[in-house]
Structure 1
Amino acid sequence: MEKTAQGLARVSRPRLYEQLVEQLLAYIESAKLGPGDLLPAERDLAERLGVSRATLAQALVALEVLGVIDVQHGTGAVLARRPSVASVIKGLREHQSRLPDIVEARSTLEVKLASLAAARRTDEDLEAIDAALDVMGEEIAKGDRGTRGDELFHQAVTVAAHSSVLGQLMAFIAEMVLETRMESLGQPGRPEQSLASHRKIAEAIRAQDPDAAAAAMLSHIELVSDVALLK
């Protein structure tokens, strides 16, 4: 909350995505949608709410992160469950406060993993990294966000580092990393940017250049950490 000149507390305005989430949940309630039902197309929803599709997409990604909806390529947003507005807003704020810590952990672990991968990778490791890049490229070409390919790439880099303890630590935070992955790849233009930065990491690992691999991974983490809910 903000302080006024008279020292009184002023209630902060809810963020736009929180307002949109409330409106979306109100629509779901009024339309009597149940689990498995399809929400209207993004264009229609954006027009009804008077916001841009990019802004609406931010709110939809937030609901997807919380498991309220399941966004399926070629189908649209499908309702997974009908929670209360209060529980969703609480979940959003907890998610938002958790993101910086997740980013901090990723920048610590994955930069080291990239460096080790460059030093220790095998030909088999390179094949797995390339296969992950191909999967992500194919997903994006189909209009999807490349979430699966992104996950496979980071898993392949972790394996290429041949560090059992760091691998266990990455497995421990995997579910939390999924939150940032969904949030990041939901940003307009981000899947293509993420794929390009993945390729730079792969090039450094292929060249067996630990410093370049670490620098490329750090740049990548900084890119994907630029998400709407952190602002």
Structure 2
Amino acid sequence: MRDATAPISFTRVSRPRLYEQLVEQLLSYIESRQLGPGDVLPAERDLAEQLGVSRATLAQALVALEVLGVIDVQHGTGAVLVYRPSIATVIKGLREHSSRLPDIVEARSTLEVKLAALAASRRTSEDMEAIDSAIAAMEDEVKAGDKGAHGDELFHQAVTAAAHSSVLEQMMAFIAEMVLETRLESLGQPDRPEQSLASHRKIAEAIRAQDPQKAAEAMQSHIELVSDVALLK
């Protein structure tokens, strides 16, 4: 007969983070309502009130679901369900996403800082027009109440093109899907779209002035800003 009082080595059970708990509740809500692809979730204000959390906290959970492709947050419509996964699958995906974020940030810092410096040295007037156009597109999105994700993507593509480095451009294309994860995560932070837009302008001005050092410094500051996300805290 085994001694039940004998010491046993247990693995410490980690307490789920708040956004994981909210994600579980949101998925339970979706399941209980039998929502399917194309159905729209209640407004953030109503969901936050029902869950007893702030809208900012709820927004983090919605961003996490958007990053994983479970929902599509559309300006003017709200959170639209793309597919209905199991809770276990989503939590596993969230933890995998969280664990690879530092590597994605590291890759962006390494590549995009160099690209900004090269863009300052090599940019043409046409390149500047593309960079300015991307900033204007993001500004229009943000003014309309959107996150500005499309304009953000256009800006970084324009800076990459202005560097005129075919190998670095291919490397950026290779990590494009992973960068999209950090873009959605970052722009989902409170006030982040406006902050990101402002840092884009600083990068653009350094490239316009053809100052590689300032362009690199501005891009590094930008990467540090967009890397400040809830999943890394």
Letter in 2 for 1:136: M
* Distance in 1 separating the partners of 2:111 and 2:12: 40
Letter in 1 for 2:219: M
Unaligned runs of 5+ in 1: 1-5
Q: Equivalent of 2:99, from 94, 97, 100?
A: 97
| TM-score when normalising by structure 2 | 0.96
* Distance in 2 separating the partners of 1:9 and 1:106: 35
1:213 maps to which residue? Answer: 215
2:198 maps to which residue? Answer: 196
Q: Secondary structure at 2:72's aligned position in 1? A: strand
* Distance in 1 separating the partners of 2:205 and 2:9: 56
Matches within 5 A, 1:43-54: 43-54=45-56
Count how many residue pairs are aligned between Structure 1 and Structure 2: 226
* Distance in 2 separating the partners of 1:151 and 1:162: 18
Matches within 5 A, 1:36-47: 36-47=38-49
Q: Does 1:123 align with 2:129?
A: no
What's the Cα RMSD here? 0.9
Deviation of 1:24 after TM superposition, in Å, equals 0.2
Matches within 5 A, 1:153-168: 153-168=155-170
Deviation of 1:10 after TM superposition, in Å, equals 2.7
* Distance in 2 separating the partners of 1:176 and 1:122: 29
Q: Does 1:182 align with 2:190?
A: no
2:138 maps to which residue? Answer: 136
Q: Secondary structure at 1:70's aligned position in 2? A: strand
1:59 maps to which residue? Answer: 61
* Distance in 1 separating the partners of 2:49 and 2:137: 34
Deviation of 1:9 after TM superposition, in Å, equals 3.6
2:79 maps to which residue? Answer: 77
Q: Does 1:223 align with 2:228?
A: no
Unaligned runs of 5+ in 2: 1-7
Letter in 2 for 1:81: Y
Q: Equivalent of 2:25, from 17, 23, 29?
A: 23
* Distance in 2 separating the partners of 1:35 and 1:8: 41
* Distance in 1 separating the partners of 2:22 and 2:70: 14
* Distance in 1 separating the partners of 2:203 and 2:139: 15
Structure 1 outlier segments of 4+, above 6 Å: none
* Distance in 1 separating the partners of 2:36 and 2:163: 45
